[in-house]
Structure 1
């Protein structure tokens, strides 16, 4: 039930400037990390410094809000998400020593060359983009996606709010988060296995057939949506937002901002990734785009067994046969 006496926005604005509480502490940490990654990325020219923290810093924020059973549950599921994603990033070469090295997201090079916005091939424009978007905005986003934890903390500690025990919605949220973590894990494993096998065949100079000849994964979850890991990541944080509803009784509260901004980021990021893949495999990927949706499965097509890819015949040969 909604508690009309609990003004979450007013409470947040009143608390944020008070030292020693989660609002103040997470904001201070976010500012520090934003400036740190800007300095490090500018010096090293490796612009994936935020990527190294993407799966770590959000669950650190959640542990800074733990005050009751609900916020503890939220921190636990966020940590499970973070550990799994950190492992996946690590096995792809994301972490090396020194810590500021490691794999850089290939998209930054294309963006820096002006493929996304032509002005970004200018050094000053790129520096401002690195400061404003890569370093500051992305770190603010990583804080915003876990702000349901701040809402739950507010409800539990603000005398003007009626605190509630764990309820059905909390367990629904936890179940959904963990479910989509599993989906994301399966998608990442399928992609990792595909890429490993593809380059193994290439290095061994073996003939490539089927999706290996096409160059990109189209089986498993990738036969249902083109970006299953992206879809799962967005779903995880939509599910995490449900915790704030369970805590406050408000279907809409200010922490939904993080969910909305994350979804918008993935729309732009996903489309740009699609553009680069289409540049690399113009004909084959165009056919894949027509056959398989980007994020949301086509329920009418799920029952069809034909994925459009043969294990022994390259896609374009199959289409021509």
Structure 2
């Protein structure tokens, strides 16, 4: 614990203890290992750098390399979705890095009375809590990768529909600056930041970061670890269902089954090319829904972006392993300190919040311009949180006029006037 004059409850929670010094010493440490072009080709130099330098250094070096790669590929191909193709893997890579880093650092052997010299086991080098966080990240990556594969995000030349639209709003010099500082650099920094909780917890146990003991060491799982893991899996399951409902709807709108097989021609309206009747295997989808153009039912009746909401919740759950480590052993919250909850690792979920909010807003701007009923959907359903939708429900049932309520809800869940006109 720190002295009474320190505002931090524990030394590792203070960014001036490990994080900031590591960031400041990155370049001097890097150049001390890679002194010339020849050293860049020596595998032994990389091994020594990885094992000896602060683990934050190798993460920064990797982030810089990926940023340069993304910028270079965007310049060569003209495709701005370079980070999109790496999104499902990069946070997991950083998580794995901080989990296994201790394994590759020096660990003294143990001298025992009966067995002589005993070398450290795997679990002496890989901390269970960090391993658990990485295992959860594997599940996160698997879900996102699966969804990306079926949406052809890894298909060569595939580009997110928003980038060309955004590119048209900028001059060429402005777009080049945007591609350098946001697409290549900022996005990669944000993805690297997702592993700050892992780094902070690593500093509580690594021999490179000598600090005082913590109430709940990372080398032993407690009940809170299992509770957070269960919440993570539940959140991931909800996210999967949100993805699946969107997937089913989009295929239905295009006259396909959830397996992407074309519907029989008898079930398609010749005039519009849209489905003529509801399909049993595609819940929450009717011909009126297809004509509306966007999904509004199922989980999407409670949140305009249930998948985004769950995605952001993912990083808050992973961050929660940090307070869990520092809370008093008796879990008496009255003894907790503000820095148990507010420390530099909180930048991980906040960074993802900062990234998803403008992304969702821009997506909605595009949708509102394309679909007339989308503005009423924005009025009736909350952007992320179901509680927001409940508040709007109270408004439309208590405050709004019956005519306004009928019109808005017809546009969102029923048959809007625009759809009626299209059908005539």
Residue in 2 that maps onto 1:14: 21
What is the CA distance between 1:103 and its match in structure 2?
2.2
Tell me whether 1:57 sits opposite 2:90 in the alignment: yes
Trace 1:129-148 onto structure 2 (pairs within 5 A).
129-148=178-197
Asked if 1 retains the 8 angstrom alpha-carbon contact of 2:12 and 2:200, the reply is: no
Q: Which runs of 5+ in 2 are unaligned?
A: 2-7, 30-48, 100-125, 257-261, 276-286, 328-339, 398-405
Q: CA RMSD in A?
A: 2.8
Tell me whether 1:93 sits opposite 2:144 in the alignment: no
- Determine which structure has more spread, i.e. the larger CA radius of gyration: 2
What is the CA distance between 1:40 and its match in structure 2?
0.4
Give the Cα separation in 2 of the matches to 1:31 and 1:81. 24
Residue in 1 that maps onto 2:137: 78
Give the Cα separation in 1 of the matches to 2:55 and 2:201. 11
Give the Cα separation in 2 of the matches to 1:106 and 1:63. 31
Tell me whether 1:271 sits opposite 2:278 in the alignment: no
Tell me whether 1:4 sits opposite 2:10 in the alignment: yes
Give the Cα separation in 1 of the matches to 2:361 and 2:159. 19
Select 1:184's aligned residue among 218, 228, 239: 239
Asked if 2 retains the 8 angstrom alpha-carbon contact of 1:3 and 1:161, the reply is: no
Equivalent position SS for 2:201: helix
Query: Higher RCO, 1 or 2 (CA under 8 Å, sep at least 6)?
Result: 1
Give the Cα separation in 1 of the matches to 2:11 and 2:179. 42
Moved more, 72-81 or 17-26: 17-26
> In the superposition, relative to structure 1, how do residues 126 and 3 fare at CA in structure 2: closer, same or farther (>3 Å)?
same
Give the Cα separation in 2 of the matches to 1:53 and 1:309. 40
Give the Cα separation in 2 of the matches to 1:221 and 1:248. 35
Give the Cα separation in 2 of the matches to 1:229 and 1:168. 28
Tell me the matched-pair count.
307
Give the Cα separation in 2 of the matches to 1:111 and 1:77. 34
Give the TM-score normalised by structure 2. Answer: 0.67
> In the superposition, relative to structure 1, how do residues 51 and 318 fare at CA in structure 2: closer, same or farther (>3 Å)?
closer
Q: Which runs of 5+ in 1 are unaligned?
A: 115-120
Residue in 1 that maps onto 2:325: 247
> In the superposition, relative to structure 1, how do residues 310 and 264 fare at CA in structure 2: closer, same or farther (>3 Å)?
closer
Tell me whether 1:316 sits opposite 2:417 in the alignment: yes
Select 2:297's aligned residue among 216, 219, 241: 219
Equivalent position SS for 2:80: coil
Select 2:211's aligned residue among 160, 169, 173: 160
Moved more, 137-146 or 9-18: 9-18
